[in-house]
Amino acid sequence: MRLEELIEVYDKIEGTTKRIEMTCYLADLIKKTPKNLLEKVINLTLGQLYPPFTGVEIGVAEKLAMKALAISAGVSEKMVEEEYGKIGDLGETAKKILSRKAQLSLFSEPLTIERVYEGFEKMARATGQGAQDIKIRILTSLFNDANPQEAKFIARFVIGKLRLGIADMTILDALAVAFGGSKEVREYIERAYNLCSDIGKVARVLAEEGIDRIKKFRISIGNPIRPMLAERLTSAEEILEKLNGVAFIEYKYDGIRIQVHVRNGDVKLFSRRLENITSQFPDVAKNIRDAIIAREAIIEGEGVAVNPDTGEMLPFQMVAHRRGRKYDVEEVAKELPVVFFAFDVLYVDGVDYTLTPLLKRRETLTKIVRETDWVRISTHRIARTSDDLEKYMSEAVSNGCEGIMCKSIQNDSIYQAGARGFLWIKYKRSYKGELADTLDLVAIGAFYGKGKRAGSYGALLMAAYDEEEDRFCSICKLGSGFTDEDLQKLPEIFKPYNIPHKHARVNTNMEADVWFIPKIVLEVKADEITLSPLHTCGYGIIKKDAGLALRFPRLVSFRIDKSPEQATTIKEVIEMYYSQKKVVTEAKERIVEET
C-alpha cells in the first residue's frame, strides 16, 4: 500500500476537529487497508510503532532528523535549522525544504507503508555504537524517496510529534463502523482493547479472524489491562445509597498504582498509564515474585514508599521519586523502600476474574498472595451504616492513608477494565468542608513569564478531561505553587510536547503563547470552583455563556503516574461545584440555626 494513500487520509483528518468526521475518514481507511497491514497502519496513525507499554521508541532527536533532511535536500544543516526556527514545526520545514528539490528526484521510488514502517523499525532497533549513523542513513533514504507531503509525515513521526489528534476511542469507533457498525460490535471491540491495551492487535484480530474471535478475546500475560477507575462522592450516606446499603471498605493508600503480571517467576510491573516500570522497582518485583503462589497471575495494588527506619507510610511524592529513574535504582530502593498493598486479582492460571464479583476476587487474592513485610493485602472492613463508614475513614487516615475506597459487593461488582464507575467510590478526608480536594489537570499551553519569570513560563494553561467528546477543556491558568527551581525547568520539561498550534483535542477560548500536546498531568489545589466566561470546562451546563474555572489554583505535584485521560473529568468538576455549593448552603443554614 502506498504511503500517499495514508497521507491523504491524514490530511483530511487534520482538516477537521469533528470527531464524527474523523471516525468516517478512519473507517474508510480501515476498510481499504490490506488485512496484513492493518495493525501497522493503526499504530502509525497513533504516532507509534507498537503500543506504549512495550517501551519501544524510535529514538530520533530533532537534531538527527534535521541532519538527515539536510543531506537529502543537499543543503546545509544550518539552513535547515534556520527554517525550522522560523516555521517551528519540523514536518512543515521538511515539506518546504524538500519541495524545492522535488523535480530533481527522477529516480526515486514511490514509498510504500511496508517500507516506511520497516525503516522506522530498524531505527528503533538500532542501539549502541553506530546507531546514530544507521538512523541517519535510513531516514535520509526515506526523505530521498518522499514527496513533500510524505516528508512532513515522516519528520513529525520520527520525532514523536505526529499529533493527528486521534484518541484511542475514536479508533475503536472507526473499527466498529468498519466491521459491522452495531453497538454490540463496538462493545466487544472496546472490551478486547480494555483487556490488552493494544488497538493494533485488536484491529489485526478483527481483520484476520473476525468479530467472533473478538467476542472471545482473552487476557494475555504481558499485555496490561486498562485499569478500573473510581467515582467520587462526598458523604457517607450517598455512598451507602449508591452501594445498596453495604460498602466493602478498603484503605486508600497514597502511592502509585501497580499492575503486576507474573509468569513462571518472571514479574512485570505496569503503571496506571500502562508503562512498564519493572526496571524502576526491582525490589518490588522480587518481593512479589516471592509472595505469589501461582504460575500465572495478574494482580493490582498500590506501591507505597515507607520510611526504612520506622516503617511509616510516606506520601505519594516520595514514591514518585522512584519513577522514571534510570540510575542509582538500587541505592534509592534502600532509601525509599516500597510496600505493595494488593487490592485486586484479574487473572490466575488461565482463569479470567475480571467478570467475577469482588468478594470472590478477594477470596482468590488471599489464596494466591502469601503476605510478607513487603507484600500485603489491603486492609478492609464492611460498613452498613454511615457511622461505621466515617469511623473507618478516620481509622484509615490515622494510619497514614488518604481516605477510603468504598467498593460494591453486589452480584454485578465486576472489575470494569478501562472504565470509571460507581462500583468503586473514593472518599477522601479532604472532601469535607471547603474545596480542599485537589484536581488532576492536563497542561495544554503556557504563557511567557515577565519580570522574575522572564525566560521561563509565567503560567500554564490547564484543562479538565471531557470524556464525552474525548478532548481537554480549559479551566484555569496555573502560576502559583512552583518553586523557583521548578519554574526554571518548565520550558525544558514541556519541550518534547511543544507544538505550533492549539492541539486538535484541546477546546479553549484562551490564546496561549505556547501550545502543548496534552500529556502532562499536574495535581492542583484551589479555593473554589467559580463560573467564568473565559473557560470551556462544562461550558453552558450550569449557566448559559459560562464555563467553570478555579479560583486561586496552585500546584501540588506532578502526577507522572497519570495519563491525560485519567485527569479529573468535567463531570467530576461539575459534581465538585455542586457539592461545594451544598457545603456552603449547609454552613449558612447552620449559622442561621445557631444565631
Binding site for ligand AMP (CB under 6 A): 230, 250-253, 257, 272, 302, 343, 378, 405, 426
Name the phi and psi angles at 67, rounded to 5: -65, -45
Comparison of 187 and 412: residue with beta carbon closer to ligand AMP: 412
Closest distance to ligand AMP from the beta carbon of 535 (Å):
22
How far, in Å, CA of 357 to CA of 423, rounded? 10
> What percent of the chain is helix, strand and coil (3-state, nearest 5)?
45, 20, 35
Examine the residue annotation and report whether 495 is marked as an active-site residue of this protein: no
DSSP labels for 95-128?
HHHHHHTGGG-TTPPPPBHHHHHHHHHHHHH--S
Comparison of 206 and 230: residue with beta carbon closer to ligand AMP: 230
Residue in 95, 152, 252, 502 annotated catalytic = 252
Comparison of 343 and 497: residue with beta carbon closer to ligand AMP: 343
Closest distance to ligand AMP from the beta carbon of 532 (Å):
25
**Residue 386 cell numbers, joined:** 454511615
Closest distance to ligand AMP from the beta carbon of 304 (Å):
9
How far, in Å, CA of 529 to CA of 551, rounded? 6
DSSP labels for 250-298?
EEE-SSEEEEEEEETTEEEEE-TT--B-GGG-HHHHHHHHHHB-SSEEE
Residue nearest to ligand AMP (CB): 257
- Strand 247-252's sheet: what is its strand order? 229-232, 420-428, 403-407, 247-252, 380-383
Closest distance to ligand AMP from the beta carbon of 325 (Å):
19
Angle between helices 77-87 and 90-100 (to 10 degrees): 130
Comparison of 206 and 291: residue with beta carbon closer to ligand AMP: 291
Comparison of 301 and 479: residue with beta carbon closer to ligand AMP: 301
Closest distance to ligand AMP from the beta carbon of 380 (Å):
8
Name the phi and psi angles at 243, rounded to 5: -95, 20
How far, in Å, CA of 418 to CA of 241, rounded? 24
Q: Exposed (0-12), middle (13-18) or buried (19+): which is 595, by Cβ within 10 Å?
A: exposed
Show the CA angle centred on residue 490, arms to residues 332 and 54, nearest 5°: 55
Closest distance to ligand AMP from the beta carbon of 576 (Å):
13
Q: Which residues are catalytic?
A: 252
